[in-house]
Structure 1
Amino acid sequence: MQKLTQQCLFATSLLALSSVAQAEDAGSQDSYQHQQSVMYFSVGSIGIDKTVAFFEGIGDSATSIRFGYEDQTGNFVWGVGVSGLLYDDEEKFSQQVENSWSGKQSSESSDADAFGVYGEIGYRHAFNETISATFMGGYDFTITSERGISNCSNCYSEDIDVSAGLYVAPRLDIQFNESFLMQLSYQNYLSGDLSSGLMVTFGYSYY
């Protein structure tokens, strides 16, 4: 029920933002409206539902990494990218492996991580040429989430049942010059097993 309420609030927020965007005096914003595309890298920490984390043998937070593309036209912003989670694995295992080239055998420890894709849309309000605030909403789809030996074929692996989902992400944008920017965002998941966390983004923008 709580997540359903959050989703309703999310939808209401988007409608409200759309109304605000139409009602704003366009003349007062023309100085700062522009078109740009951004390639970026984000890193931060995301919380995981404590019950899910306990049963899956991982910590209740994970390092979140994103590589993405974002496009802005006027105040409208959309983006797509790939996402990754590096879990704090509490149930590591080791396995004897053999190098396929040298034939050398060694004992390797497992890693726990996840990989996914996401898409998002939002609204940006520029205060001046340097500072702006953006409200984004999107969906993060988990493709794989597992514990296993990296770069190893036919090795043992275990699925880690952690899903992402719908999220909102208000943020502060800082444009240092025409090419480089930084973003500070708070990401709050409204569905799935992730909760919330802080992200910092470094990007390269072009027009």
Structure 2
Amino acid sequence: MYKYKKLVLGLVLGAISTAAAAQEQVEEGAEYRGSWGISAEFINFNTDVATVNGIADSGIGLGGSYSGEKGLFNFTIGASLFYVDDKAEFSQRVQNSWTDDEYTEDSSIDAVSLYLDGGILYPLSEGVSLGMNVGYRYFDIDRSIANCSNCYSEEIQIESDTYLKPFARFTFNDRFSGTLAYFSYTGDKGAENSVQFEVNFNW
């Protein structure tokens, strides 16, 4: 499966490079369009990796992004915060720095992600476009006590990864559009796939 994913990734990158060379002149006069987005996302992790790390094999996220388009080409840069259920939480005595009161707190999973991708966006009609991007997603996930700077913590072994992102964009009006995207992670590093819906707006 890993070799297959690498082959697909190589083919997509090759197709994008070829299309970029072919379109270089015709896209010179294309108008640049930028938009901001707010997203909701459902992510799936490899079951074995999730079990070893003591977390649920899925999570939900909220995020924001900026996207740009010119001609057939587009890019997106974004960030997400995920809620992932902690299956191996621990407890620790902590002290309030203001009142010196001591109490017990349970751990939770902190999951942050940054991502960047680019590729081709092709209009099928006035209101619908289909795209294929390739990108890289950074994951920072750990088990820790919230708002405690010197408490014990554990790193969750979900590594940063490359991905393929087929997506559809639906134009609602001059200011608002929606994007439905599927992230297929290619490196077998813990994250398997995710589905994201984003509302995009510009002014």
TM-score, normalised to structure 2, is 0.86
Deviation at 1:19, TM superposition (A): 4.2
Alignment counterpart, residue 85 of structure 1, candidates 69, 82, 89: 82
Report if the CA contact (8 A) 1:49-1:60 is conserved.
yes
Match of 1:175 in 2: 171
Identify which range, 187-196 or 102-111, moves more after superposition: 102-111
Match of 1:3 in 2: 2
- Which amino acid in the other structure matches residue 165 of structure 2? A
Supply the RMSD in Å over aligned alpha carbons. Answer: 2.3
Deviation at 1:40, TM superposition (A): 1.3
Match of 1:201 in 2: 198
Match of 1:56 in 2: 53
Q: Runs of 4 or more off by more than 4 Å in structure 1? A: 17-24
- Which amino acid in the other structure matches residue 70 of structure 1? S
Report if the CA contact (8 A) 1:118-1:141 is conserved.
yes
- Three-state SS of the structure 2 residue aligned to 1:87 is strand
Identity %: 28
Unaligned runs of 5+ in 1: none
- Which amino acid in the other structure matches residue 7 of structure 2? C
Report if the CA contact (8 A) 1:185-1:198 is conserved.
yes
Instruction: Please give the per-residue CA displacement for 1:6-26, whole angstroms capped at 9, x wherever unaligned.
Output: 1221220232355457768x9
Match of 1:118 in 2: 115
Alignment counterpart, residue 158 of structure 1, candidates 142, 154, 157: 154
- Three-state SS of the structure 2 residue aligned to 1:184 is strand
Report if the CA contact (8 A) 1:164-1:189 is conserved.
no
Structure 1 position 139 matched with structure 2 position 136: yes
TM-score, normalised to structure 1, is 0.85
Summarize the alignment of residues 95-114 of structure 1 with structure 2, pairs less than 5 Å apart. 95-114=92-111
- Which amino acid in the other structure matches residue 181 of structure 2? S
Distance in 2 (alpha carbons) for counterparts of 1:40 and 1:157: 32
Report if the CA contact (8 A) 1:180-1:203 is conserved.
yes
Match of 1:14 in 2: 13
